[in-house]
Amino acid sequence: MKETAKIIVGIPRAMLYYRYGGLWHDFFTALDISTILSQPTHQATLDEGARIAADESCLSHKVFLGHVQELIGQCDYILIPRISSFGRRREMCVRFSALYDQTRTIFRDTGQKFLTYNLDALSGMDEAAAFQHMGHSLGCSPSAVGMAYARAKKAEKRDWQERVKAEETLYEREGVKILIAAHSYILEDPYLGAPILDILKALGTIPVRAYYTDREAALKKSDDISPTCKWEMSRELMGSISLHEAKADGVILLSAFPCGPDAMVNELLIRKFQGKPVLNLVLDGQSGTAGLETRLESFVDILRFKEG
């Protein structure tokens, strides 16, 4: 294996970092490759990303570009995976399949190198093969890459099972339980979604993250809601709501403006779950939380009034 100890890979703390960050870190660590993270999102991150991005870009994409900008010149490579599909009717939003090429184009004059892996099961490239290609591009042997991936994948599975189990125990607690259906790159982001979790906890409720669920079971259950929806993460959220909404007092649909898939899927969910109080929140990047606090307080009041 080529000497890789001096290679530094930068990872933007946005988008799919909140889904695969542990896998990436463990994979590179096993190959003796260093990683650095951009700082947690703050207002300047969004401002910088909005300056770079096209006007019609979604809020999450603008935040992502702000994180990439922070890493420019700080590392040898910046990791931006190209994730397209996991199989039939298991596709990702086009934003993720185009993210690598878009970002390289936007920062083409910086001299920064970018690293990717191409996951597209519909074209015969699964995750293991994609990581092999990425490791090869870094000069690592196939055997070293295979062992690093297997070790990282095992740790990822164990960590995910622990997170799902911990989230399930929240239903056992006394209090108003609110299931939040949002992508992890929104809800886990300290600037975008984390303040909502803080507000709900301050109001004495118990927020439960819908995406911490058995993904296979959720994908199967999503067919009861929409047999034609093809977006992987949207299907996971739909199925998770269907699996858990009976245990929650209310549901919050949280998305970032102007996400096309979320706009359609959330409208479908509002019509589907009419027997459960549902609040549809769309984040637009405006600073301050006063408006959010008012809407969340009103929603919690409704839930408590419904409980009697």
Give pLDDT, residue 273: 85
| pLDDT at position 4 over 50 | no
pLDDT of 55 reads 85
261: CB partners within 8 A, 6+ apart: 93, 231, 234
> In this structure, what token pair is assigned to residue 108?
């083409």
Secondary structure of 21-81 in HEC code, one letter for each residue: HHHHHHHHHHCCCEEEECCCCCHHHHHHHHHHCCCCCCHHHHHHHHHHHHHCCCCCEEECC
| Amino acid letter for position 184 | S
36 beta partners? 10
Q: Where are the alpha helices (DSSP H) in the chain?
A: 17-30, 43-52, 59-71, 94-106, 127-137, 142-168, 184-187, 194-202, 215-222, 232-244, 260-272, 290-307
The confidence score (pLDDT) of residue 307 equals 74
Sheet holding 206-209, edge to edge: 206-209, 177-181, 250-256, 278-283
Q: Tell me, what DSSP letter sits at residue 174?
A: S
pLDDT at position 33: 96
pLDDT, tens only, 69-104? 999 999 999 999 999 999 999 999 999 999 999 999
- Mean pLDDT to the nearest integer, 280-293: 80
- Residue 62 scores a pLDDT above 60: yes
Which backbone phi and psi does 81 adopt, to 5 degrees?
Answer: -70, 150
Q: Residues 6 or more apart from 263 whose CB is under 8 A from it?
A: 255
Rounded to whole angstroms, the Cα distance separating 239 from 272 reads: 12
16-33 mean pLDDT: 97
For residue 114, pLDDT over 70 is answered with: yes
Residue 107 pLDDT exceeds 80: yes
Listed in sequence order, the residues at least 6 apart from 146 whose beta carbon sits closer than 8 Å to its beta carbon are 128, 132
pTM for the model stands at: 0.93
> What is the CA 187 to chain-centroid distance, rounded?
8
Task: List Cα–Cα distances, 269 to 62, 298, 302, in angstroms.
Answer: 26, 21, 19
